[in-house]
Structure 1
Amino acid sequence: MNGILERLVIARTLRVPVPEGGPGAGAAAARQFDAALMSAGFKLSRDLMERLSGMDEGAVLDTAVRVLATVRTMAGDHVRHNVYFRRFPRKVPGTVEFWARCMQKWLLDPVSGDDVRRAAAQGALNLLDFPDYGRYLHTYEEMLAAHDDLIASAKDRVTVLHLGGSLDREIEDLYVALAGSVTPLDAADLEALRLLAEHCAGGRQPDAIPVRENRAVVNLARLNAGLPLLLDTVTDVLRLACALSDGDVTLAEPTRFRSPRRPLRRALLAGLDEVVRDSPAKLGDVGPYREEWKRLGERLHPHEHPAYPYAADVFAVARGEKAARSFAGRVEVLVGAGDVAGAARLLSSAPGMLFRSADRLLRTAESDRDRDAVFEALEAAAGGASGRVVLSLREHLLNRLGKPGRARVFANRLGRGAVVPDARPPLGGDVRKRLAALLDGEIARRLPEAGHLLVDPDVLDVALPMSGKAAASGLGVLPRGSMSPVEGELLRFFVYWKQARHTTDFDLSALMLDGDFLNPAWLSYTSLTQVGGAHSGDITAAPDGASEFIDLRLGEVRARVIIPQVNVYSGEGFEQVAESFFGFMLRGAEQEGRPFEPRTVRMKSDLRGAGRVALPLAFLRGDDGRWRAKWLHLFLRGRPAFNQVEGNRVTTAALVRAVAERRYLTVRYLTGLWASKGGTIEPWDGGRVPDGPVTFVGFERPEGLHEESRVFTPENLRDIVPA
């Protein structure tokens, strides 16, 4: 178990827990370790190198084995990336030429006569019938032999691993950070929290667990450990029941409830009974999940436990045997009657709901008096709303300019995106300004004193992570809406997948558009050499894993928008395969090397989503000629099978355009508020860091920072969001 937790610590913090081992002469082994890390794009910090150099050589080598396995997985180098065209990106044939060659070999193959006659009778040819199509025709070793070694470049990625504390301390710190996060976690971090909570249930706990999903995971560990539960709503109990059945604690997907053991049943009913006994009005929360409560009641048998009468009321409400008007229903009655001021006063007792309803209340208000009442309620309740909700409303205001033809983009918890016209009445300019000033003041009040703020300018356009679900897990991944510079002459995308039980075909494609998101062209298995690039070839099954690549020389690309996408052509989806991930590499014009070189990987993210078409990010060329990445983390529903870039190009273009034109709150916004509080802001150019403690915000922690410094990097950027 400790090995799994150590990997979690390294992958999520880039800190190596203090290795165990006595003193010794480990300098030579430490240098070898560092050299091996460099091949994967990682490096030991100065402090970590010094610590390892003074340790026993055997302990250093043991540490190296564990850490190397972890970082190679982080970069996608834990699997073998073969390509269909052995010399890719060189000697990739044109599509028609390639298909003709495959067909010729098929026609001349003495064992395929029956297939040829059947195809001739049907009047159709199937690429999958060609014996040379869709499967590797050479070994991984033969592919490597066809490529030269990578030429090292100063622009290759180097991710520094820092010295951590003891393993127990690092595990505890990571647990407290994840459990106490003020933003929802993605699926991978939620699973990491589950493992950490089991280990840390009886230890140090965060001051608060504001995200309900996190609370459900922690409650599961506390339930199994016999500790008191953290419950203050009936829905907390429902989420815990989902966790107990290995279901979805977000409640987005239905859970198949199991029948828990009698002691666990009693614990759930006792918790439910206490919540309702202390606040009967909370029965109003049952309605939105009425069906889930009915199914859970069939497993808990509340009628067998007369000691918990208030818990029985929950199931009576779910069955319609007892009335309980929901809080939202009471608000709707007031709004429907035109009593906006009354609705605002009622919502003051639920600050989060009030702030989420602010736009509707303000545009519904018909008089200055009603609008003043809404602002008075917002000002009075501001301190009770979470920082994430306040920031979300501030970002919402950036996109409420009332411009005709403007689109709204939505992304649900599963990352599925949709675009609809914005038909809402506009908010008046004075209303927007007044609300913006209120929100800016509240956010600035919550920010800690920054003191000396050291900022990497490249991080200023990174979007604030209001939800972990707006990003996938992986290396170098940024939240949806972030912009980051793309430096390099050669851009290469890759996808890897390994099927679990059924033959599965993923297709990597790239859609190219002009500055108006029109005039599409693409690279795919149906267009192998177009628009200044090359496709590595179509692989149609992945029992042992498969990879596809797209190579683009940015100087030869005429398009203004590049949208890589992964289509599920057939077989298992992104959530059914054994493993799947996407990423991109950047290289200089002089760099050759293998198709996959881990130290040139700038981003690698897991592919886990409910759609059949994945849109991880887009590349946009600005008026200055420079390329930048715009992070999407979106999925399209797609068709059950046979998805192709040609078939979804219109939907993809509309969705990406909506994200590209939407304005996001970024790190620049928060640093500006920090400056307004009198902090000293200094751009960091990669040079020497100040001697005293600072608040550092950047892509990677610099070496030599004062030990009392606060550091915000992509690994913990969620912590920059004020509580």
Structure 2
Amino acid sequence: MGQSLEPLVIRHTHRLPSLAGAAGAGDVAARQLDAALMSVGFKLSADLLEHLSGLSESTVVDTAVTTLATVREMVGDHVRHNVYFVDFPANVPDTFDFWMRCIAEALTDDTARAGTLDQLRTGVVDLLTLPSYGAYQHTYAEMLAHHSELIAAAGDRMTVLHLGDDLDSEVTALYLALAGSSTPLSQDDLVDLTALARACVHGPQPEAIPIRENRAIVNQARVSVGAQPLLDTVTDVLRLACALSGGDVSLREPTRFGALSRRVRRALLAGLDAVVAAAPAKLADVRPHREAWKRLGERLHPHEYPQWPYAADVFAVARGEKRAQSFDGRAEELLGTNDVTGTAKLLKSAPGKLLRSLDHLLRTAATDGEREAVVAAVEEVVHQVSGRVVLSVREHFHNRVEDNRSESSQGEDAGERRVFVNRLGRAWVTSDDRPPVPPAERQRVLAVLDAEIRRRLPAAGHLLIDPNVLDVALPLSGKATASGLGVLPRGSVSPVDGELLRFFVYWKQSRHRTDYDLSALMLDARYKTVCWLSYTSLTEVEGEHSGDITDAPDGASEFINLLREAEQQGRPFEPRTVRMKSELRGPGKVALPLVFLRGPDDRWRATWLHLYLKGAPTANRVEGNQVSVARLLRGIVERDQLTVRYLTGLMTDDATGMTLWDGTTVPDEPVTYIGLQRPDGLHPESRVITPENLRDLIPD
């Protein structure tokens, strides 16, 4: 396997694959690497430092180049972060005074004077036409000269890199973990899985691939080397065709199918024929994607292959020439006649659909007998449902309280709300007029789900738990979760330590002028706007904005400083102080990555959102999104997420012991460690769960 996969292993596992180079005296180079890593907030574990010290100097230097480049990109230190105001956060001017200064400077500019005067006569001035607005007025080196060296603080981040197995073993283990994940992966993880699947196509394969998008990527690699694809639904074939054409394997966006070789066409049609021959009822899955099937049929030419008649039936259904009633259609017909018992009986053959329909069935049931039939059906088939679905339904029913209303939604903003978030992170709010679920059935369902989850959890042995991980939300889906450092699933809550909050955004335009704006909205306890920090409000509530950059051909950064007590000296961007860094790759024009809340104990905590608003096509400003942001925040913040605390509570039933880790010593014996970062010195046979592999907590 190529060395190009080493950065991928480091990013996903925080492990550096062991090296098989010649023995030597690499201790000096290893210590130099450790020092360089510490300057960006990373450090070698004791085992890793010892391993590198025993290798030749040239071997250590070679791996140092790759490792440093990888971790610098992880924290955002691979680019230069300049600021508009050279002294930021000091000497940030009043917003109006700054704009007046830009106008005054334009009036002294021969090329801009006439146009500026014309605008002044109309009473409206476009800031983007002023020469000194929106572009750096100093170099990166000049900015650095205005700032002192970073004064180290106890709260600075230090991420430990641990010693891994050899590169082939690490790559294989990562491939098996991603391909066999029981929860959907983020878009970035799917890209990584594509590279891993190609590298591992001839090696060990997962026992099961429950997520269909993952299966499509694995199948793409298999077909590329002439191996049989893994198919058990007609939609598996469609996803594979999309993957082979470089399209969207999630099927959300239409794929333009390219020309397919005869070998690939035969593989797809043969696989499709086998699936339908084994279960003709699966033709019902064609209708939801019939337009895509029509386009694919134009590329596959099924009429040229009479030996696969069942494959031809798929395209006949897509064209409307053959009828195939869907399973969902039969269920809807039964519900349309108020036959709740019959619907529950039918849905037992599709246990996942039964659990997803459970709320509706219990609300629709008119008699105790019907409600009993519904819950009894769940008890009978719940063991067949994926762990992710069981946990999702459990979280849903936990939040379906009897009156469906929280105290904070009373008064001026009274009214029940439902927050919807799709797989891309696009969020919207609607009123909630559903009647409550009957309390007796709700409690019984919760008991059934808890018992099933407890049954599936493996024996934990001795549990060692970092208390800071307990309020991290379970990663039931990674679809809208961006990749990065310290990124946690939506709804996760983290304590905020230290004396300063500093946010940053970096972008670099490719062809067209691009302007991203960093903003912070301050709300009171009733989610009403108090003020904001943005390019339209540079200084507020002991905070400062670094200034508006409107053109980024060489890259641009914007910062927001929120000072609480004292300030740590240093550059505007100091990599070792970066606690969280994520990519912003959502479908909307407005991104809401985080919210910070002050609790009743006066401590601040961060809650991850991973939300995107549609916004306007251009010129989005924070003050134009106050109402939509506040409504979304209320829905997310006031919802109880299913967290690590819930699962560890179930795991302690079978644990031989549980210890809350104090951040210092670790036990000598093997443990199951669950925390935000792997401690140094754990027994090598320990099971380790950190945010990088938190999905492993989700039972099958």
Same fold (TM over 0.5): yes
Contact 2:45–2:680 (8 Å) recurs in 1? yes
SS of 2:479's partner is helix
TM-score normalised over the length of structure 2: 0.97
Does the Cα contact within 8 Å between 1:20 and 1:59 map onto a contact in 2? no
Unpaired runs of 5+ residues, structure 1, are 556-588
Confirm or deny: 8 A CA contact 1:41 1:600 kept in the other structure.
Answer: yes
Indicate conservation of the 8 Å contact 1:462/1:484, yes or no: yes
Q: Which residue of 1 aligns with 2:411?
A: none
> Which residue is 1:562 aligned to?
none
Of 527-536 and 674-683, the range deviating more from structure 2? 674-683
Matching of residues 502-513 of structure 1 within 5 Å:
502-513=512-523
Q: Is the 8 A contact 2:499 2:567 kept in 1?
A: no
Aligned to 2:591: 614
Alignment match of 1:483 (pick from 481, 484, 493):
493
Matched, 1:407 2:417: yes
Alignment of 1:435-450 (within 5 A): 435-450=445-460
Corresponding position: 1:672 with 2:623: no
Please report how far the alpha carbon of residue 117 of structure 1 lies from its aligned counterpart in structure 2 after TM superposition.
Answer: 4.4
CA contact (8 A) 1:528 1:535 kept: yes
SS in 1 for 2:323: coil
Hey, what's the Cα distance between the residues in 2 that align with 1:377 and 1:30? 61
- Name the aligned partner's letter for residue 501 of structure 1: R
Aligned to 2:410: none
Give the distance between the partners of 1:520 and 1:679, measured in 2 at CA.
50
1:193 aligned partner: 193
2: distance between equivalents of 1:323 and 1:241?
24
Q: Distance in 1 between matches of 2:540 and 2:681?
A: 47
Report the counterpart of residue 60 of structure 1 in structure 2. Answer: 60
In structure 1, what residue type is equivalent to 2:501? L
Q: How far off is 1:212 after superposition?
A: 0.5
**Separation in 2, partners of 1:256, 1:14:** 38
Q: In 1, Cα distance between the equivalents of 2:108 and 2:232?
A: 73
Corresponding residue for residue 290 of structure 2: 290
Q: Deviations over 1:317-365 (max 9, x none)?
A: 0111000000100111111111111111111111111111111111111
Q: Which moved more, 1:64-73 or 1:589-598?
A: 589-598
1:679 is displaced (CA, Å) by: 4.1
Distance, in Å, in 2 between the alignment partners of 1:305 and 1:121 is 75
1:422 matches 2:422: no
Give 3-state SS (helix, strand or coil) of 1:141's partner: helix
Paired with 1:200 and 1:435, the residues of 2 have a C-alpha distance of 42
* Equivalent runs, 1:542-621 vs 2, <5 Å: 542-555=552-565, 589-621=566-598
Closer, same or farther: CA 708–178 of 1 in aligned 2, 3 Å: same
Percent sequence identity over aligned pairs: 64
SS in 1 for 2:111: helix
TM-aligned CA distance change 1:610 to 1:296, over 3 Å: same
The equivalent residue for 1:459 is 469
1:496 and 2:506 are equivalent in the alignment: yes
Work out which of the residue numbers 681, 693, 696 in structure 2 matches 1:716. 693
One-letter amino acid of the structure 2 residue matched with residue 310 of structure 1: Y
How far apart are the structure 1 equivalents of 2:352 and 2:509? 43
- Residue 480 of structure 2 contacts residue 586 of structure 2 at CA under 8 Å; is this kept in 1? no
Determine if the alignment matches structure 1 residue 702 to structure 2 residue 679: yes
Partner of 1:44: 44
Match of 1:648 in 2: 625
Q: Which residue of the partner structure matches residue 602 of structure 2?
A: 625
How many angstroms does 1:609 deviate by? 0.7
Deviation at 1:375, TM superposition (A): 1.5
- 1:510-545: CA deviations, max 9, x gaps? 000001101331000010011210000000011111
CA–CA distance in structure 2, aligned partners of residues 693 and 320 of structure 1: 60
Instruction: Report the Cα distance in structure 1 between the residues aligned to 2:179 and 2:576, rounded to whole angstroms.
Output: 32
Asked if the contact 1:444–1:677 (Cα under 8 Å) also holds between the matched residues in 2, the reply is no
Alpha carbon RMSD of aligned pairs, Å?
Answer: 1.1
AA matched with 1:467:
S
Counterpart of 1:33 in structure 2: which amino acid? Answer: L
Q: 1:288-327 alignment to 2 at 5 Å?
A: 288-327=288-327
Task: Letter of the 1:43 partner, please give it.
Answer: K
Look up the match of 1:351: 351
| 8 Å CA contact 1:222, 1:229 repeated in 2 | yes
1: distance between equivalents of 2:505 and 2:27? 38
Tell me, yes or no, if structure 1 residue 184 matches structure 2 residue 184: yes
Q: Which residue of 1 aligns with 2:660?
A: 683
**How far apart are the structure 1 equivalents of 2:545 and 2:113?**
31
Give the structure 2 partner of residue 86 of structure 1.
Answer: 86
Aligned length: 690
- Give 1:392 shift: 0.2
Secondary structure of the corresponding residue to residue 163 of structure 1: strand
- Aligned residue runs from structure 1 range 89-108, under 5 A: 89-108=89-108
Give the secondary-structure state (helix, strand or coil) at the position aligned to 1:719. helix
Residue 3 of structure 1 and its aligned partner are, at CA, apart by: 3.1
Cα deviation for residue 470 of structure 1 reads: 4.2
Matched residue type, 1:506 = Y
Gaps of 5+ in 2: 406-414
CA distance in 1 between partners of 2:31 and 2:507 (Å): 34
Equivalent residue for 2:231?
231
Q: Please tell me whether the aligned partners of residues 502 and 562 of structure 2 are also in contact (alpha carbons under 8 angstroms).
A: yes
Q: What's the offset of the Cα at 1:682?
A: 1.0
Using the TM superposition, give the Cα deviation of residue 287 of structure 1 relative to its aligned residue in structure 2, in angstroms: 1.0
Q: Residue 611 of structure 1 aligns to a residue in which SS?
A: coil
Q: Distance in 2 between matches of 1:172 and 1:703?
A: 24
Match of 1:202, SS state, is: coil
Q: Deviations over 1:407-435 (max 9, x none)?
A: 21111111111111221110121111100
Specify the code of the residue in structure 2 equivalent to 1:55. Answer: L
Q: Counterpart of 1:536 in structure 2: which amino acid? A: S
Asked whether the 8 Å contact 1:8–1:192 carries over to 2, the reply is: yes
**Amino acid in the other structure paired with 1:621:** R
Q: Give 3-state SS (helix, strand or coil) of 2:579's partner.
A: strand
Question: Is contact 2:533-2:539 (8 Å) kept?
Answer: yes
Deviation at 1:2, TM superposition (A): 2.1
Q: CA separation in 2, counterparts of 1:684 and 1:553?
A: 31
Partner of residue 533, structure 2: 523
What is the match of residue 30 of structure 2?
30
Residue 360 of structure 2 aligns to a residue whose secondary structure is: helix
1:379-398 correspondence runs (5 A): 379-398=379-398
Kindly state the Cα deviation for residue 153 of structure 1 after the two structures are TM-superposed: 1.3
CA contact (8 A) 1:276 1:310 kept: yes
Alignment-mate amino acid for residue 137 of structure 1: Q
Amino acid paired to 2:572: P
1:252/1:413 contact within 8 Å kept: no
Residues 235-283 of structure 1 show CA distances to partners (whole Å, capped at 9, x for unaligned) of 0001111111111111111111112111111111111011001100000
- My pick for the range that moved more, 41-50 or 261-270, is 261-270
- Alignment of 1:693 with 2:670, yes or no, is yes
Shift of 1:43: 0.2
Q: Secondary structure at the match of 2:562?
A: strand
> Per-residue deviation at 1:113?
3.1
SS in 1 for 2:520: strand
SS at match of 1:16: strand
Query: CA offset at residue 50 of structure 1?
Result: 0.3
C-alpha displacement of 1:655: 0.5
SS of structure 2 residue aligned to 1:602? coil
**Aligned residues of 1:520 and 1:649 also touching (Cα < 8 A):** no
- Structure 1 position 677, deviation (Å): 3.0
Distance in 1, Cα, partners of 2:145 & 2:74: 25
Deviations 1:51-98 (A, max 9, x none): 011110111111111100000000000000000000100011000110
In 2, Cα distance between equivalents of 1:678 and 1:21: 42
Structure 1 match to 2:272: 272
Contact kept, 8 Å, 2:426 with 2:587, in 1: the verdict is: yes
The aligned counterpart of 1:659 is 636
Deviation (angstroms), 1:129: 1.2
Displacement of 1:383 after TM fit? Answer: 1.3
Distance in 2 (CA, whole Å) between partners of 1:427 and 1:445 is 26
> Distance in 2 between the 1:315 and 1:520 partners?
58
| 1:121, distance to aligned residue in structure 2 (A) | 5.7
Is 2:533 the counterpart of 1:532?
Answer: no
Q: CA deviation at 1:118?
A: 3.8
Q: How many Å separate the matches in 2 of 1:104 and 1:452?
A: 69
One-letter amino acid of the counterpart of residue 214, structure 1: N
